[in-house]
Amino acid sequence: MVLILDVARFKYEFSKAPQRIAANTSRRYPSYWVPIRTLYEALIPYDTETNQPRGYCILRRPSKPEPSPALLVLNATTPTWPSLYAPLAEVATSATSYESLISTLAEILRSPSGLPTVTSRYEGAHPSTLAVLSKSPSFDAAEGAKAHTEYRRGVARLYRYFAENSALYKELKTADDLWKTEITVFMLALLSAKDMKERMLVTVKEGIEERLSSDLADETIKTEVENVRRQMESLTECSVEDGICSRPGGCCGKNACS
């Protein structure tokens, strides 16, 4: 038998009534026991809102300490990614040298407004989400403030680390100093993304490997870059699958969306 604690995921729109979810869930959808087979069969049908089966996830404590999580995330979404990615992909396709590729990308990205960059997870959180968390009975305001302070210190340390240790950071002469760490992470992720590497000339890829190998091997830098790169590649795949690339021939993959 399995205890069902909450089946209200698809019954309320969080944005319309976040403060009422907890109270209404326990009253309208009480906990109850069901056989495992019944639960399994209930997960199989496709949901009309997502066109996917309900599915499940398993949560467990890690058997060994996890590596430090990335502090920065990509600031882009599936609808905005194709048009933002297109000019960057064009540069990768047309660049004839490592130097021209880096300088052109840095010039495009030096003003982050309207362009994809990366940001801290806390800064990227929606205000309504933070407001709801603060009202939760299990939310400890003191612990939350402490965690926030430690997180901000971690971000500050990360900025200093990139300034002192990243080869690309030191190369970016045209990048906006205020956003230089974010731009560095974004560019390293971009240059190591599968689709971008497929577009580049062999000599350009060799230049990247030669000049930036130390950055991509550094564990602290690698943690941030791989996190953003995975998000980039996921957005690229989603854009291809949804057919929303913004130019013939595909901004997200050479043969996509033609």
- CA dihedral of residues 97, 237, 77, 248 (deg, nearest 10): 70
Nearest of 117, 90, 118, 115 to residue 104 by alpha carbon: 90
Tell me the residue type at 37: R
Q: pLDDT tens track of the chain, all 258 residues?
A: 888 876 554 444 444 454 554 455 445 667 788 898 888 888 888 888 778 887 777 878 777 766 667 888 898 888 888 888 889 999 999 999 999 999 999 888 876 555 668 887 655 454 555 555 556 666 667 777 787 788 888 889 999 999 999 999 999 886 677 788 999 999 999 999 999 999 999 999 999 999 999 999 999 999 999 999 999 988 888 765 555 444 434 444 444 443
Instruction: In whole angstroms, give the CA distance from residue 228 to residue 239.
Output: 16
Contacts of 19 (CB under 8 A, 6+ apart): 132, 135
Alpha helices in the chain (DSSP H): 21-28, 36-43, 81-94, 98-109, 127-135, 141-165, 167-171, 180-192, 194-199, 202-217, 219-242
d(CA 237, CA 253): 8
